Amino acid sequence: MPNPFDYTFWLASRAAGIVGFIALGIVSILGLVSALRLVSPQQAARLRPYHERLAITGLVAITAHGLLLLGDSYLKPSITQLAIPFTLSYRPLWTGLGIIAFYCLAAFGLSFYQRRRIGARRWRSAHRFASAAFILGTIHALMAGTDARSPLLLGIIIFFIAAIAIMGGMRALGFPRKTARKTAPQRGNRAPVVQ
């Protein structure tokens, strides 16, 4: 049986990647719950700090996922291979998609601190890029991850794919429906009172 201490960096990188995936999956669900108005505005306001903190946690975990590979004795990647998509010899297409997903998430995550300058409406519409990054990250996890075939991780991935796809589909279909505002009747247009 192989000694796990011989693969410390590889195991730590995998663990950080899984933590990052779960954190960002929860972030996506929390964002969609608020966007779909599945909770009251007060509850949405209470969820917002968790949404923001988990996004940062996910980004830090994904950063660690990449950087920990620098110590891996089997893969032996260079900084350049971790920074430039499709240059790593290990499953280059799938690792390249993971690197692109990281850049998209990092750019979007850091733009949070510039949202006043960007404009809140424009910044909110840029959430589509976070969704694209999550999709690329999911493909990376399924195709490059050595744990992707384990029942536990596969179950986690399928859960997030299903939940986000259903809620994202609802959002794309225009939910929640905008209701017409009820206007108060004009004084001269009051319905007659029947006695």
Residue-wise pLDDT for 139-172, tens only, equals: 999 999 888 889 999 999 999 999 999 999 998 8
What mean pLDDT comes out for the span 45-64?
95
CA 125, CA 176: separation in Å to the nearest integer? 16
Sole residue written with tokens 């990092």: 106
Q: What share of the chain is helix, strand, coil (3-state, %, to 5)?
A: 75, 0, 25
pLDDT of residue 22: 96
Between these two residues, 149 and 70, which has the higher pLDDT value? 70
Is residue 58 pLDDT above 70, yes or no? yes
Confidence class of residue 195 from pLDDT cuts 50, 70 and 90? very low
CA 123, CA 140: separation in Å to the nearest integer? 26
Sign of CA dihedral 82, 84, 89, 93: positive
Q: At 36, list the tokens.
A: 């779909």
pLDDT of residue 162: 96
Is residue 187 pLDDT above 70, yes or no? no
pLDDT of residue 36: 93
Which DSSP symbol is given to 87? Answer: -
CB atoms within 10 A of CB 71: 14
Tens digits of residue pLDDT in 89-148: 999 999 999 999 999 999 888 888 888 888 888 887 777 778 889 999 999 999 998 888
* Helix H or strand E encompassing 37: none
Give percent of the chain above pLDDT 90.
Answer: 64
What mean pLDDT comes out for the span 16-38?
94
Question: Mean pLDDT of all residues in the chain?
Answer: 87
What mean pLDDT comes out for the span 78-91?
95
Is residue 194 pLDDT above 60, yes or no? no
